[in-house]
Amino acid sequence: MKIALIGYGKMGKAIEKIAISRGHEITARVTSSQKVEAQDFSSTDVAIEFTAPHVVINNLEYLLEKNIPVIVGTTGWNNHLQRITELVAKKNGSLLHASNFSVGVNLFFEFNKQLAKLMNQHNDYHVSMKEIHHTEKLDSPSGTAITLAEGIIENHDAVEDWSCPQHPTKNEFEGGVEITAIREPNVHGTHTIEYHSPIDFIRITHEAKSREGFALGAVIAAEFIQGKQGVFTMNDVLKLSK
């Protein structure tokens, strides 16, 4: 499989290492100083996009117009998901997006949903979340934290929304899941969900040890999307519940 890396920072380099170890070829490496439109994708089977929220939509639109399947790990663009989904349908293309490609995190998403279902009947418990990432992380809260919050909202009747003091617009807390976003050096990603009552705490935590788990998941997703059309997530890759 011939892979174009859109974004060649620490994550792009980790993806490159794992892709080559699995027998794939890297045919393009697009850095932050280059425009995706200037690249030659004539031999590309799939593009893996890990860039930044302010460029991701332009990159996705260009790649889909060129009929290149895209794996996108950039977060902070979900308000454009409907428009991108319509473009995928129009071009008979394929796109797989995830807030987190780690297999362990996607299993953690499922644990989170099941715990929310169990806690739905116990109104003495208040739910909150803390996420910690490296200082280069551009969005707050993380896309993973938002996905976790959405999983709680879908499965707990008393939780209607999320808020985050560090988010530029959703920083007012009026009930729901309050997410605290912390940025520290050399942290690959830690997410903790806590239910606390006057008498006890229940906590579940996922802590990433390195970038390799995210990179491996992105390559597995690229292998999965070959020959497929439509919009997919890691639920499809791992055969998890929708």
State the DSSP string of 15-59. Answer: HHHHHHHTT-EEEEEE-TTS-GGGS--TT-SEEEE---HHHHHHH
Can you tell me the mean pLDDT for 102-129?
95
Tokens of 100: 């987190």
* Identified catalytic residue from 113, 130, 137, 206: 137
CA dist 35 → 7, 12, 84, 132 (Å): 10, 16, 20, 31
Amino acid at 237: V
HSE-CB at 195 with a 13 A cutoff on CA atoms is 19
pLDDT of res. 153: 96
Q: What is the pLDDT of residues 66-95, one digit of tens each?
A: 999 999 999 889 899 999 999 999 999 999
For 123, counting Cβ atoms within 10 Å of its Cβ (0-12 exposed, 13-18 middle, 19+ buried), the class is: exposed
97 is catalytic: no
pLDDT at 32 over 90: no
Identify whether the C-beta of residue 225 lies closer than 8 Å to the C-beta of residue 71.
yes
pLDDT band, residue 242 (cuts 50/70/90): low
Identify whether the C-beta of residue 229 lies closer than 8 Å to the C-beta of residue 92.
yes
pLDDT at 241 over 70: no
pLDDT band, residue 3 (cuts 50/70/90): very high
Q: Quote the CA–CA distance of 86 and 199 in Å, as a whole number.
A: 49
- H or E element at residue 112: helix 103-119
Strand partners, 95: 70, 231
Q: Quote the CA–CA distance of 170 and 182 in Å, as a whole number.
A: 16
Domains along the chain with CATH numbers: 2-101+212-238 (3.40.50.720), 103-207 (3.30.360.10)
156 is catalytic: no
pLDDT of res. 172: 81
* Cis-peptide, bond into residue 198, ω within 30° of zero: no
* Identified catalytic residue from 133, 156, 191, 206: 133
Q: What is the pLDDT of residues 168-186, one digit of tens each?
A: 888 887 778 999 999 999 8
